[in-house]
Amino acid sequence: GCGDNLKLDLCPDDQPGCVTVDDGTTSEELDAVFNNAVDGQVIILAAARYDLTAALQITANNVTLLGQGKDRTVLSFAGQTTGAQGILVTGDNFTARGFTIEDTAGDGLKLEGVDGVTLQSLRVTWTGGASQDNGAYGLYPVLSKRVLIERCEVSNASDAGIYVGQSEDVIVRNNK
């Protein structure tokens, strides 16, 4: 489906507000890209494995986060030492597509109070298998509106793979 085999290796020169994150980017550098995102930012994650030590956060509105496919772009939080989840989003109109989140300390991708959520072709997993020590939720929009979650895969969460809490106008379809 759309977004499973993206060919967006880098930002076009004529696209302002687009940032490409390359293979070899450190946890601290990726943290800065997420924390410093501005309204309308497009963040393209290259095909790579990113080893992260801290939770990532996006507070800006209209941010799009694009990987190169679930099997090609992996955000690993196996070495996470700080933060309650992998990625926390609080900005409106957020889109994420085409990457994997692994081994977060808590929830994989949490969206809190977001109006406009599109999550497509994502994978969230804990690679050690099922365990009560894994994060509770893989994909977790809470107190959000206008939510679409499709073609995503979640495995080994300690509670629920996809949990939509206190949200309205939600479509969850074709997920595993």
Residue 17 pLDDT? 83
Arithmetic mean of pLDDT over the chain: 93
Residue 9 pLDDT? 56
Mean pLDDT across 65-91 = 97
Residue 107 pLDDT? 98
* pLDDT higher than 50, residue 2: no
119-161 pLDDT, tens per residue? 999 999 999 999 999 999 999 999 999 999 999 999 999 999 9
Mean pLDDT across 6-26 = 76
* CA angle in degrees (0–180, nearest 5) for 27-30-33: 155
CB-CB contact of 100 with 122 (8 Å): yes
Residue 11 pLDDT? 75
Order of all β-strands in the sheet with 54-58: 54-58, 82-89, 107-112, 137-142, 160-162
